[in-house]
Amino acid sequence: MTALSPIIVGLDLDSAEEAVRMARDLAPHVGGFKVGLGLLHGPGPATVGALAELGLPVFADAKLHDIPTQVEAAARRLGRWGARWVTAHVAGGAAMLTATVSGLADGSGGAAGVLGVTVLTSLDAGALAAIGIASTPGRLVSRMARVAARTGCEGVVCSPQEIGVVADVAPDLLKVIPGIRPDPGRTDDQARVATPRQAMARGADWLVIGRPITRAPDPAAAAAAIAADLAEFRGAAVQP
């Protein structure tokens, strides 16, 4: 983690123009931006390039999951658009992840890294059981983190509850954490959440925060408040 704010804002908005406009307002308070499926499948990957011009890292949350040749091609193109990170589902298997890493490295000139998506924060043990996965989220994330590490991923996306699991089995992986809610009483469609301070205390490297910022009455003020709180927390954490 750098001296940048650890906040990556999930710009899950209706248009690329709206996303870029909001990103300009938020840039002084955050460390990067996430482009999700809504924008990637609407305005398209050019949105990544437009945001990258603002000078902060852009996380293309493409959640790639297909045969290796397809994800390799997609990752290569996203790398050419300037994505700093691209996500791929670890459930796609080791060969697919290896292809994603290769394609992204080629497209970005080695400047970008793959984040392996482990267990979505909208799922819990009951939801996994309903689709035939007889494992807790923690055990499944542990296995997936090992696969991500050995296939060359730079990091993983996991819920706040599995940060320690990832640190134990694959300590060199970046831990990029969605499911962040400053108000712990408001989970929206997330099942496994934490406050920003809780996630940082558990060892998160980056926090992906969307609706608590983008749907706030004043998004820049909301981002600034979270950033200030985290700066205070991080400063206290390094005191002797």
Domains in the chain (CATH in brackets) are 7-237 (3.20.20.70)
How confident is the model at residue 122, as a pLDDT?
81
Question: Which is catalytic among the residues 63, 139, 143, 234?
Answer: 63
Judge contact between 20 and 50, C-beta under 8 A: yes
Both tokens of 214, joined, read: 């983008």
Write out residues in the chain with pLDDT < 70, as ranges: 1-3, 183-193, 236-240
| pLDDT tens digits, one per residue of 87-133 | 999 999 999 999 999 999 999 999 999 999 998 878 878 888 998 98
How confident is the model at residue 239, as a pLDDT?
41
Short-list 93, 91, 153, CA closest to 120: 91
How confident is the model at residue 1, as a pLDDT?
38
How confident is the model at residue 137, as a pLDDT?
86
Stated pTM of the model = 0.90
How confident is the model at residue 207, as a pLDDT?
96
- Name the residue type at position 184: P
- Report phi then psi at 198, rounded to 5: -60, -45
How confident is the model at residue 189, as a pLDDT?
52
Helix (H/G/I), strand (E/B), else coil: 96: helix
Q: Is 63 a catalytic residue?
A: yes
